[in-house]
Amino acid sequence: MTAPEASQVDVLIVDDQAPFRSVARALVRLLPGWRVVGEAASGEDAYDQAALARPTMILMDINLPGINGIEATRRILARAPEIKIVLLSTYAADDLPPDATTCGALTYIRKDDLTPALLRALPV
């Protein structure tokens, strides 16, 4: 007997740059069972969209207008700890803000390294 559609991964993409959201959307669409359920361009919008869309995973840019991605991650996880949040940025791992490792995010991925194979390897 096969498992129900538990393998469906609903993704919210958060980035203030529309071109990156477009690239991330295209990457997610390459993965069977994954779909984009929303997009946000600010930390505040991400918080609101997470409550509406109830995603499985959020791809969260660190540098956002308003509250940054790290603070948005904290707030979202305080309300919905089951959501997996992946921080994204152009920072080298050694240059991440110190609170990036303590905000509750699943992991950090450099935007240049984001691929369908890497997304598929994440625990969801």
4-15 pLDDT, tens digit each: 345 799 999 999
Whether pLDDT at 33 is above 70 = yes
Please give the model's pTM, rounded to 2 decimal places.
0.92
Closest by CA to 13, choosing from 71, 72, 66, is 72
Three-class SS state of 50:
helix
The ranges assigned to domains in the chain are 5-118
Q: What one-letter code names the amino acid at 42?
A: S
* Architecture category of domain 5-118 in CATH: 3-Layer(aba) Sandwich (3.40)
